[in-house]
Amino acid sequence: MSHIRIVVADQAEAIFYDLSSLKAHPIEVARMSDPAAHLHDRDFSSDRPGRSYESFGKARHAIAGENDPRRREAVKFAKEIAGRLDQDRRKKEYDKLIVVAAAPFRSLMRTEFSNDTTACIVHEVPKDLVHSPVEVLREHLPTTAQELKSA
């Protein structure tokens, strides 16, 4: 019998479900959250950007930060999710993975997944269903093995 893990995530929360079969009801097994995802941009840093002189003339201007603090926080949370999935895979808690997340965050997570975890992905749902009931999630999951990519 194969074990299917589902991760439903956004930048602030991740819910992990297990499926014993494609026809089974998803069972929640873990939940992670990132409280920093709810902070305002002004709460991420207290400093104003630095100032610089033009190379020619006397004009000064602010130096914009290269990294958006909200994006940095999202990448950090994606790494935490990827680490949890990798740890669970090594403990053989699942051998197939279904990823449910909206496009921008799903892409961040995939970047952080190890090669072995990526190889376990059999289906992806490009929707943000973190705050949806399990019944809505169930509607978006495959019901037959033919709908899955081979893992």
Q: What is the CATH number of the domain that holds 97?
A: 3.30.420.60
DSSP of 65-104, one letter per residue?
A: PSS-HHHHHHHHHHHHHHHHHHHHHHTTS-SEEEEE--HH
* Alpha-carbon radius of gyration of the chain: 20
Model pLDDT, residue 1? 44
- Number of domain units in the chain: 1
DSSP-derived letter for residue 147 is G
Mean pLDDT per segment of 10 residues, for the chain of length 151 residues? 87 95 93 73 54 61 61 91 97 96 94 96 96 95 84 51
What is the reported pLDDT for 64?
A: 56
What's the pTM value of the predicted model, to 2 decimals? Answer: 0.80
Strands 121-125 and 51-53 come out as unpaired
Domain ranges, residue 40 = 4-147
